[in-house]
């Protein structure tokens, strides 16, 4: 199981929101690059970089931070937040991202999202499938759709995608444990999925549980920033 730390950015700084709420913002560090270097020094290989300004603006805003990280570290960066056009995805890959995560665009503009999978390949595009009560949530979780989570993922895996980041919105930022039952069901229902679990991780025990059910990776954010899990413990995975 890969440990994938998250750096969420607003105004070029590292922040965390609670349940996607911009009014519940907490700043943790002035420099995404310095934070990324800490992860790299601990032996971490991957990074989940989220442009929260971009998610609001519907176009990437913190491209400078992405370029700084991909230029000055060897981390494999997956980038999300506001990538909703051909121009935007091209730019993000030019800035050094290894993968791009698309969530809202996969619901609102499936033809465009499909074209990215064809153009860049299923290894470079990650489906962001965020769920609220098992229905897909989009636009920074401000909107909940009527689309069933598992049906949604199956439809894209049939088109050549394999990586899926799934956040249970109800768990995010609360440090109350991840949605183990939901992830178990997804692993059983969707053969071939490379599931990256996100949201709710609060302890090493949570990481061990996720590893036991066979997820491909786990995104860790608040638990690290709030001192619940140390860098050494993350590196041990």
Q: How many CB atoms lie within 10 A of CB 63?
A: 19
Q: How many CB atoms lie within 10 A of CB 55?
A: 26
Cβ–Cβ < 8 Å for 193, 171: no
- From 8, 53, 172, 206, the catalytic residue: 8
d(CA 101, CA 215): 17
- To the query of whether residue 8 is one of the catalytic residues in this protein, the response is yes
- From 78, 130, 168, 206, the catalytic residue: 130
- How far is residue 96 from each of residues 53, 58, 68, 102, 116, measured CA to CA in Å? 19, 20, 9, 17, 17
State phi, psi for 210 to the nearest 5 degrees.
-65, -40
Catalytic residue positions, numbered: 8, 130
């Amino acid at each position: 199981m890969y440990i994938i730390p998250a750096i969420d950015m607003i105004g070029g700084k590292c922040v965390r929101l609670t349940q996607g709420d911009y009014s519940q913002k907490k700043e943790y560090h002035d420099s995404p690059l310095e934070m990324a270097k800490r992860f790299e020094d601990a032996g971490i290989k991957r990074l989940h970089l989220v442009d929260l300004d971009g998610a609001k603006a519907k176009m990437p805003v913190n491209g400078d931070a992405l370029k700084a990280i991909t230029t000055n570290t060897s981390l494999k960066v997956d980038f999300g937040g506001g990538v909703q056009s051909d121009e935007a995805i091209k730019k993000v890959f030019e800035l050094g991202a290894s993968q791009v995560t698309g969530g809202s665009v996969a619901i609102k503009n499936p033809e465009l999202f499909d074209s990215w999978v064809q153009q860049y390949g299923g290894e470079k595009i990650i489906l962001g499938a965020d769920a609220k009560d098992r229905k897909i949530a989009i636009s920074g979780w401000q909107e909940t759709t009527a689309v069933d989570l598992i049906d949604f993922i199956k439809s894209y895996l049939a088109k050549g995608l394999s990586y899926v980041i799934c956040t249970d919105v109800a768990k995010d930022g609360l440090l109350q444990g991840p949605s183990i039952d939901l992830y178990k069901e997804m692993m059983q229902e969707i053969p071939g999925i490379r599931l990256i679990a996100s949201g709710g991780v609060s302890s090493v025990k949570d990481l061990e549980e996720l590893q036991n059910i066979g997820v491909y990776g786990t995104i860790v954010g608040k638990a690290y920033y709030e001192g619940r899990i140390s860098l050494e413990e993350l590196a041990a995975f």
